Chain A
């Protein structure tokens, strides 16, 4: 994954987070029932939070350039 792709995906993630932690999804999650004694709002907030973190980690860590290659070294592909 190129540096540019990662940047775009992280921006998309930011926008996703803005939507997740906002009206109206919070209203939907704020229901009265419970799952195993856990209220849906709590499950939703922590679940979405954890999901965002995992996605960030996935975007950043997947096929990260090796320790010797700087960020700039990722752009030119190998000839052939």
Chain B
């Protein structure tokens, strides 16, 4: 299939591409044009969760236990829903306080405890080395399978110890080189490793594509789709793999793995590294919440088909199921696909190894080795001028050491477990971090000693129930230790502790370790007291949204020169100088060497130091140059109070500001409204004056004619006098209307309520206007009951409305062809009166406008004035609304206009006590 040289070439080419991607990512970051600053790359980088174990081991697990591989991916899916709260809070804390690793996070929460951070580091390293070795095993096994072709790998076969069998070692060394190059670029561990993240995202794409390719090949190439594979598998007697009982696990075991993997997606050191430390923008989290589960779903879609396909393809032959992904396409002679799958597996394994070693080396350096070295007097590290080189060297050395340790573990013990089981052992170790972190960020009462005891107990149980049995199985310990218990005490059997038998070892360990961890953390926290500094840190973590950037934690004094010298030793003179210069510029200060450092500067220096050597060591180092910096309990409480008060105060200020702003806005709007009203009043006045002047002008001019020409003919004289009388009448009407209007609008209108029959009112109105109809020969149609319901209303006003509508109708119909329909309908709650004509109608856009003052249909108010005042309909509307009704105009069939108004029947008995709210007609008060 492929010889060793081609395999080496392919591997080298792939790693070269990886280096190129990382290099490009770092270069773009240096230019300030980040390529990883988007949610998709963030979600892809989180997929570092899918390691070589996913790639090869899932199929192995599925071949043995059907859907038993799934809970490892269902747990993260469920947990992703809670990221909205948990991960967001962890992100805020990390960004606010410059956390550098999961050990640093826990240590900082519990009073910047170096001891706790160190313990977390030890757990992380011990718990992860088997996991790292698992990846090396995956790579090595895939190489061995390809080289051994056409022989099929047997279960439990250990790769040969030839030169090529050690290809895995060379790959390991290359990965170490990668991690060193791209994972330790900055002395400040809080800075993002952009190139590294870009490479990880790239690898996530490769492994997904590779697995989908083999899935599609098996499902649709070798078989005829999902249904075909499943049917054949059932026919071949593998049906039990497709039921829950076929998983060989109980519901408790299933749930334990869901729970465990849900914790692992957050608390594995590498997941913490990519999800929390490498996060650039908190907003990327939102998309990742559903994108990561989607990725997991896709990469697992074809696991069962491939596993079943393998079982069908190699019936009875004992093929190592962990390698089925490779052996299936190889058996079919698919060369290109084999290479792609090999690269997919390589990418899955290398991504995990790279991120994990970077995370572990930072922890190891900052939280374990440096604090220890600084305590050793004869090393005189405190007197060295520049330690930044040493720090980087330690981290790089740690990466190499970690990988070689993993390689050694793989060589010695690695063959004893299948891929998936070893991974779950590591998950159990990482799960121990969940209680101190989750309780730490939500419960201020969690204490350092409680966390320490909980972690110790959980870790101890993990060693006893999972690690020691694994070593025993590899022959490093006597095997009867597992079966019979230590010294033959069955009660203490590692995998049936206190007689709890019948559980999967993983479930068993998880149960006991979580129980002990939680019990001690909670119980001891309730008993023990927190130191004042712990209290402070607890508040800073739990109330991160309120307190971040709030209190100054250093109250003592320090000289600027001392701080600068201290910083220069750990992060290098140049960076220290830059940081101080930035600080000075931002605050507009000069920082002479012998000046006193302000609290801000001390806090900044501590943060920078924490980034380089961890929070615990950073605090210790700062304390060496800051005098009088220790806090008493009262002082801590004062600081917290002050910070809370200040924040509370600024919140109140903010509220007041918002209230003022709202009030200002209200005022502005009221003012605008007043201005509008003012304009309307002016308009009204000028319109009214105009309306009054028109008849007055004609009265005056005709009177003058009569006065100047006493010898006018009688006919002419009486015609002119007729005009004068008519215009005077119009003037009177206008003034009456204006008076009515202003009385209604100012609420001074007097209403005389009587019981009346609307039919009678309408008849009276028709009688009053009969001369108008008669004159133009208009046909009147009545559609009214003989007798209407009795209503209580002001009869005269009601009649005024009907008369107004009738005379309007009479005004607009054609002489001789006019037809006016008067309709009265009675509904249970109201009656409706309609006056319909067959005149020219009202354009739809004017149906509302006709009710405005001085609005005349079909022209402006100055020309062609019929006899109306322009106020009639406005007054009608006011009257109808006063009785709680509604009036409107609409087109009548087939043409013409219809005016209708309603009067509520129940309410007419007791008309509204106040006039309805007067909209837009304020001018009456001014008139």
Asked if A and B bind, the verdict is yes
Known: A42-B67, A42-B304. A49 touches B74 (CB 8 A): yes
Known: A10-B82, A22-B255. A39 touches B243 (CB 8 A): yes
Query: Beyond the given A37-B227, A45-B67, A56-B290, could you list 15 further A-B residue pairs with CB under 8 A, ordered by the A residue number?
Result: A11-B85, A21-B74, A21-B254, A23-B251, A30-B243, A41-B67, A41-B243, A42-B67, A45-B74, A49-B293, A50-B297, A52-B77, A53-B77, A57-B294, A60-B289
Asked if B228 contacts A57 (CB within 8 A), the reply is no
Does chain A have a CB within 8 A of B683? no
Whole-angstrom distance between the alpha carbons of A56 and B301 in the complex?
19
In the complex, chain A residues whose CB is within 8 Å of the CB of B79: 14
A and B contact pairs by CB, cutoff 8 A, 18 listed: A7-B85, A10-B81, A10-B82, A13-B81, A21-B78, A23-B255, A26-B251, A31-B243, A37-B231, A39-B242, A42-B67, A42-B230, A49-B293, A53-B77, A57-B290, A60-B289, A70-B283, A76-B658
Please encode chain B, from 288 to 302, with 1 for each CB lying within 8 Å of some chain A CB and 0 for all others: 011001100100010
- Rounded to whole Å, the gap between the CB of A18 and the closest CB of chain B is 6
Instruction: Tell me the A residues contacting B by CB distance below 8 Å.
Output: 6-7, 10-11, 13-14, 17-18, 21-23, 26-27, 29-32, 34, 36-39, 41-42, 45-46, 49-50, 52-53, 56-57, 60-61, 64, 70-71, 76, 79
In the complex, chain A residues whose CB is within 8 Å of the CB of B294: 53, 57
Asked if B254 contacts A26 (CB within 8 A), the reply is yes
For chain A, what secondary structure do more than half of its interface residues adopt (helix, strand, loop), or is it mixed?
A: helix
In the complex, chain B residues whose CB is within 8 Å of the CB of A29: 244
Whole-angstrom distance between the alpha carbons of A10 and B226 in the complex?
32
In this complex, what residue of A is CB-closest to B74?
A21
Known: A34-B231, A60-B287, A79-B665. A49 touches B81 (CB 8 A): no
Name the one of A45, A56, A76 contacting B293, with C-beta atoms under 8 angstroms.
Answer: A56
Does chain A have a CB within 8 A of B430? no
Closest 8 CB pairs of A and B: A37-B227, A39-B242, A30-B244, A56-B290, A14-B81, A37-B231, A57-B290, A23-B251
Does chain A have a CB within 8 A of B751? no
For chain B, what secondary structure do more than half of its interface residues adopt (helix, strand, loop), or is it mixed?
A: helix
Asked if A18 contacts B243 (CB within 8 A), the reply is no
Q: Count B interface residues, CB 8 Å.
A: 41
Asked if A36 contacts B227 (CB within 8 A), the reply is yes
Whole-angstrom distance between the alpha carbons of A7 and B244 in the complex?
33
Whole-angstrom distance between the alpha carbons of A64 and B285 in the complex?
13
Asked if B251 contacts A37 (CB within 8 A), the reply is no
Most-contacted residue by chain A among B77, B82, B230, B665 (CB, 10 A): B77
Asked if A38 contacts B287 (CB within 8 A), the reply is no
Most-contacted residue by chain A among B67, B82, B234 (CB, 10 A): B67
Does chain A have a CB within 8 A of B70? yes
Asked if A39 contacts B81 (CB within 8 A), the reply is no
In the complex, chain A residues whose CB is within 8 Å of the CB of B71: 21
Whole-angstrom distance between the alpha carbons of A12 and B254 in the complex?
21
- Rounded to whole Å, the gap between the CB of A11 and the closest CB of chain B is 7
Known: A14-B81, A56-B293. A39 touches B244 (CB 8 A): no
Asked if A34 contacts B85 (CB within 8 A), the reply is no
In this complex, what residue of A is CB-closest to B66?
A41
Known: A46-B301, A57-B290, A79-B665. A37 touches B81 (CB 8 A): no
- Rounded to whole Å, the gap between the CB of A27 and the closest CB of chain B is 7
Please encode chain B, from 40 to 80, with 1 for each CB lying within 8 Å of some chain A CB and 0 for all others: 00000000000000000000000000010011001001111
Does chain A have a CB within 8 A of B84? yes
